[in-house]
Amino acid sequence: MYTFSGKTLRTASSIRTPLLQLVSFFLIALLALSCKKGDTGPAGAAGTAGATGTANVIYSDWFTPATYVKDTVFGSYGFNYDKAATDITQKIVDSGTVIVFGKLDGYVTSVWPTAQVSALPIVITYMDGSAPNIDTWSALVTTGNLRIRLVSSLNAYGSISNAHHFRYIIIPGGVKSTASMTPGQVTGRGNVLSNYKQMSYEAVCQQLGVPE
């Protein structure tokens, strides 16, 4: 800088420094704007749910008892059919679940519709003359054996029709409890174990991957 007639004059170099600082500021601002984050792209497609696991689930074919063995307990007739089932091991009896289904086509269709399937126990009430009769179909599982049993409240039968059909599905133990799971997480074996008594036969088969 120079002093001339009492005034201070700035040299070209002293003027250039602030000017360069100002230009640098604008260049930095432009670069910041050019590097602005782009708009968010469209969301990707949701992934598909994993297949329901059915590992170790065992199921039988439909079977039809030809004859039943009759017994009498406290005056009530019972009719039993024993089905050998080597898949029902002691471990299954102790910690697994065996679901038995009945298709009771031996009744007239007004009592039991043809091809209707339900899980045992099945309780059917109908009028036998002027009195209500209650038929109770149950399943007893023991090691290596499945017993199908019918008891009539009126001792209404001397023998049982051989048109009734049954099958079983075995779910081994070791399935995680669904108590702490949300409804959306409860699928497959866990769902069936918790809800099969309220589920349709078709829903149980679908959840477990079992052919109907």
pLDDT of amino acid 4: 38
Residues 6 or more apart whose Cβ sits within 8 Å of residue 194? 178, 186
8 Å CB contact between 148 and 81 = yes
pLDDT in tens, 165-196: 999 999 998 655 444 444 443 457 888 988 99
**Would you say 192 and 176 are in contact if contact means Cβ atoms under 8 Å apart?**
no
pLDDT of residue 24: 52
The two tokens of residue 135 are: 């038929």
pLDDT in tens, 37-77: 445 444 444 333 333 335 689 999 999 999 999 999 999 99
Mean of per-residue pLDDT scores for the chain: 79
pLDDT digits (tens, 9 = 90+) for 9-22: 444 444 445 544 54
**Between residues 161 and 51, which one has the greater pLDDT?**
161
Q: For tokens 């040299």, name the residue.
A: 11
pLDDT score at 190: 83
**Which range scores top for mean pLDDT: 29-43, 81-95, 171-185?**
81-95
The percentage of the chain sitting over the pLDDT mark of 70, rounded to a whole number, equals 67
Q: Residue 56: what pLDDT?
A: 85
| CB-count burial class (<10 Å; 0-12, 13-18, 19+) for 125 | exposed
